[in-house]
Chains A and B, each alone.
Chain A
Amino acid sequence: MDFEAVIGLEVHAQLSTESKIFCACSSKFGATPNANACPVCTGMPGVLPVLNRRVVEFAIRAAVATGCTVQRRSVFARKNYFYPDLPKAYQISQYELPIALGGHLDIEAGGVSKRVGITRIHMEEDAGKLIHGGSSAGSQGSLADLNRCSVPLIEIVSEPDMRTAEEASDYLRRLRDILVYLEVCDGNMEEGSFRCDANVSVRPRGQEKLGTRAELKNMNSFRNVEKAIEHEIRRQVELIEDGGTVVQETRLWDADRNETRSMRGKEEAHDYRYFPDPDLLPLVIADAWIDELRQTIPELPVPKSARFTERYGLTIYDASLLASVRALADFFEGAVAAFGKNPKTTANECIQWKDAILANAVSVETIGQVVEDRETGLISATAGKTLIEQSIATGKAVRVLREELGLTQMSDTGELEAVVAAVIAANPKEVEIYKGGKEGLLSFFVGQVMKETKGKANPKIVSEVCRKLLG
């Protein structure tokens, strides 16, 4: 039988606000355990949450950028469960009335464009982290690090609109690119600031009714999300073909073994007893605020990529690669604007030096000047590469290095004519053969000129001059 997979994704994105969602503690990653904790985020008796305005702002920006409708009234609810990394024994989240509903994201997989629906976006607080016995020196039981408690998250829930692992992974990448673009999330999957759970089911192609789904967790890279979904689809199809049935459950991806494992027992049907948090008033958002934030949404990757192909004549591949990272796109446009030279060459250089650019190791001037000098024939492509490498290594400006390393090409026709004339005079035999019709010998003369000029001559001009003087 031919099966079709149905995939929906739940993404938890940590918002990169300075402070936590309900208190003033820093939300920075990597601090000494429990250094970023106060009575509020550690759930001491009598303390109360106060909503961080910046969190709402970030959530609204994410909602607007994904085409969601921001709700004028949303309500925080308590999700009740006991766990030592959850000090209040409830997580403040949004349940029945989230901040945003009904958006979408356009994806492209296997050369096909597709619109994936976004069901909702809601705000919530993160839980802490447990460090289990043995993993920390001298610890007997488990230790709780509450630094991450109350760090703000948005959960973005997609519709079950994806059909392949590739589509899911493209959706995920694009969603991450947008959030990073908006500067609301750093998108770091390894540090857990961008996490994804996948709901996967299969059904015979053509069947309307959805199959029983499994929820996949513990995938901490794009590659793992793709592999886990592929594996899970295969597992479910094989199970059904063998006459079995899929059970609704949570499965953990094991990246070492390349398989998903059931979390049986641990995640038995929880009743979270959601109810509106009486400590927080309903959140009422004025239209004016949404409009104001809408103005701050930058040009997003997809339209930016389209503009790059249109305006600069870049290939779709180069344009979308540059546009996928805001800093890279801005760098590219900065270099083109400042030096106004060949955008294609500039794009190639930006792509070639992407990592260095994103690490702030290369300036707009470096790339811009190299492109400019290549355009004017002052340097060769090889020399350009050497210059950028040296500039990164020494921190010196490329034009200083060009002189120091003597990489400037001889492009003066008059100057080169003298050298070419001397070479012709010194090689009468070859001139004769050339004139006899063996034009392939042109490269011999160019080579001789290059040798004479110790490689500094512009080979393009040399070959023109040679052709002219050889008649």
Chain B
Amino acid sequence: MSTIPVHEWTLREAADRIRSGGVSSRELTEAILGRIAAINPKINAWVTVIPEKAMAQAAVFDEMQARGESAGPLHGVPVGLKDIFCTKGIKTTCGSRILHNFVPPYDAAVTERVLCAGAVLLGKQNMDEFAMGSSTETSFFGNTLNPWDPSRIPGGSSGGTAAAVASAMCFAAMGTDTGGSIRQPASLCGVVGLKPTYGRVSRYGMIAFASSLDQGGPVTRTVADAALMLGIVAGHDRRDSTSLDLPVPDYDAALGRDVKGLRVGLPKEYFEGEGLDPQVRAAVDRALAALVAAGAEAVEVSLPHTEYALSTYYLIAPAEASSNLARYDGVRYGHRAEGTSGLIEMMSKTRAEGFGPEVKRRIMIGTYALSAGYYEAFYGKAQKVRTLIRRDFDAAFQKADVLLTPTAPTPAFRIGEKTDDPLTMYLSDIYTIPCNLAGIPGISVPCGMSSEGLPIGAQLLANHFREETLLTAAGAIERAIPLPRVAPFKG
């Protein structure tokens, strides 16, 4: 047996050990549930934990194992899901009061695929309300703390997911990324977060924030684990018209590939701006040095429309959100305001009570951007700039196979530090947003620690459906820069 504690195993180690009979799914699930019971009250990474269901499911997998059957590559391994993926019979809140009591009668495609692969679902992870935020401070269920330093935020919106993986409260989890919501918290929590190409993973049953930008992806402690999860969740789904019908490559094969000759592009605009913490810059430089040392070639590239990405995003995402969130009206499910008379009052009060301030802010921005007389100037213009940003990447990928950038401008900031200043908060996603606008895949991989002991991540971006390149390059950085996989948080 390994000398490292059970909960610190990687996803692959956990799956291998169950498969080889070294440990049962029940033992593993019990150990992790114990870990959640001890740590979660301090970190608040989970909105819902389902110990009974998880143990019952683990028992089923153990019985299968005893009969010599395997449910799939994750057979018996406990995992988590961001509370944005619908789970049949299990409350799915999206971090919002308006869905605080919503129990879906269906599973999201991601939920199905993870469960079909044999995973034991432990529960649902905390997040910014409707995935709108970069710190998990907008959740109706309280903020999540960063396990590396509980006075700091874990990033967001998949902050519960990243914190749970970083503090070993699960072996892997699925998050979603609309403008950086997987990569930024992964960076701030010292774990790996991969946002696949738009259309690679089905959005069916994933509660929509901004439909043209949302994409589900894994948060894991190693690059190899991210590859394993991606292989499970990727693929065409007829229920999502924007999901692409392309074969899913063998992502494992990408892990061992050499980076020799790989052209690593450095978008100059990402390193020029103010606000990039020198420690982050230095860590990303070390990641580049690691790639170059392994035979990659550094090239400078330009993404000239980068400066417009944030404003473009903050028109398109709220516009789509204002429409996507209109269905929460108290009529059919979720929160309904009491003591109202008449339809309009019921709907207005339900929404006034049900949504938090950040969600309301974005609904208002989006409603305005789509209004008659403003549509062309705002939404229409933003769509045009979006095309220019996509073309920037097309041009950059002529010169480079992969782009290397910081994931976030700074390590984790303090709780409450930016809550009064939405614009500063929005800047946390400045390096991650263009990737969503272009629909390309991106990954954040740990590449250093700050002097205060906070994790720093490097972001790699590749062309559409080139997740393999991301895994190859991220694997090389991971091997060259060994870092602790689990936060030392003791609870």
Contacts and interface: CB of A to CB of B under 8 A. Distances in A.
Interface of A: 39, 42-51, 78, 80, 82, 84, 87-90, 142, 144, 271, 273-275, 278-281
Contacts of A48: 203-204, 239-241
Contacts of A51: 241
B332 A87 contact: yes
B301 to A, nearest CB: 29
Interface string B328-356: 01011100000000010001000000000
Give 5 closest A-B pairs by Cβ, nearest first: A89-B326, A273-B370, A278-B212, A278-B211, A46-B207
A45 B331 contact: no
Categorize the interface residue count of chain B: 35 or more
Contact of B242 (A43, A44, A271, A279): A279
A80 B370 contact: yes
A273 B323 contact: yes
A50 B241 contact: yes
A238 to B, nearest CB: 34
Contacts of A87: 327, 331-332
A90 B326 contact: yes
Interface in B239-283: 239-242
B401 interface: no
Interface in B71-96: 84-86, 92, 94
Interface in B356-388: 367, 370-372, 375, 379
Contact of B205 (A43, A47, A49, A90): A47
A247 B463 CA distance: 56
Interface stretch (B97-105, B287-295, B430-438): B97-105
B94 A45 contact: yes
A140 to B, nearest CB: 12
Interface string B182-225: 00000000000000000000011111101110000000000000
B238 interface: yes
B308 interface: no
Nearest to B105: A39
Contacts of B322: 80, 273
Contact of A82 (B102, B211, B326, B370): B326
B55 interface: no
Given A39-B106, A46-B204, A46-B205, A88 B242 contact: no
Contacts of B242: 278-279, 281
A45 B207 contact: yes
Which of the listed residues B84, B102, B205 has the most CB atoms from chain A within 10 Å of its own CB?
B205
A43 B330 CA distance: 12
Interface of B: 84-86, 92, 94, 99, 102, 104-106, 108, 203-208, 210-212, 238-242, 319-320, 322-323, 326-327, 329, 331-333, 343, 347, 367, 370-372, 375, 379
A106 B87 CA distance: 55
Contact of A47 (B106, B323, B370, B379): B106
Contacts of B326: 80, 82, 88-90
A271 B371 contact: yes
Contact of B241 (A45, A78, A82, A279): A279
Contacts of A45: 86, 92, 94, 99, 102, 104, 207-208, 327
B107 to A, nearest CB: 10
B331 A144 contact: yes
Contacts of B86: 44-46
A275 B375 contact: yes
Contact of A84 (B84, B331, B379): B331
A45 to B, nearest CB: 4
A442 B382 CA distance: 96
Contact of B332 (A43, A273, A281): A43
Contacts of B370: 80, 273-275
A44 B106 contact: yes
Contacts of B105: 39, 44
A87 B240 CA distance: 19
A41 to B, nearest CB: 12
A276 B208 CA distance: 16
22 contacts: A39-B106, A42-B332, A44-B86, A44-B106, A46-B204, A46-B206, A47-B106, A48-B204, A48-B240, A50-B240, A51-B241, A78-B323, A80-B322, A82-B326, A84-B331, A88-B327, A142-B343, A271-B372, A273-B371, A275-B323, A278-B212, A280-B241
A46 B94 CA distance: 10
B329 A82 contact: yes
A49 B203 CA distance: 11
Contacts of B210: 278
Contacts of A281: 241-242
Contacts of A280: 241
Given A45-B102, A47-B205, A279-B242, 18 more contacts: A44-B333, A45-B99, A45-B207, A45-B208, A46-B203, A47-B239, A48-B203, A48-B204, A48-B240, A78-B323, A80-B323, A82-B329, A90-B326, A144-B331, A273-B371, A274-B370, A275-B370, A279-B208
B352 to A, nearest CB: 14
B375 A49 contact: no
Contacts of B343: 84, 142
B316 to A, nearest CB: 9
A89 B379 contact: no
A49 B332 CA distance: 19
Residue among B206, B240, B323 with the most chain A CB within 10 A? B323
Given A80-B326, A89-B329, A273-B367, A279 B319 contact: no
Contacts of A47: 106, 204-205, 239
B89 to A, nearest CB: 14
Contacts of B375: 273, 275
A198 B327 CA distance: 31
Contacts of B329: 82, 84, 89
B198 to A, nearest CB: 10
Nearest to A279: B211
Contacts of B208: 45-46, 279
Contact of A273 (B238, B241, B372): B372
Nearest to A45: B207
A79 to B, nearest CB: 10
Given A39-B106, A273-B370, A273-B371, A50 B332 contact: no
A280 B99 CA distance: 25
Nearest to A130: B343
A78 to B, nearest CB: 5
Contacts of B239: 47-48, 50
A84 B336 CA distance: 13
Contacts of A78: 323
Nearest to B102: A45
Contacts of A89: 323, 326-327, 329
A46 B332 contact: no
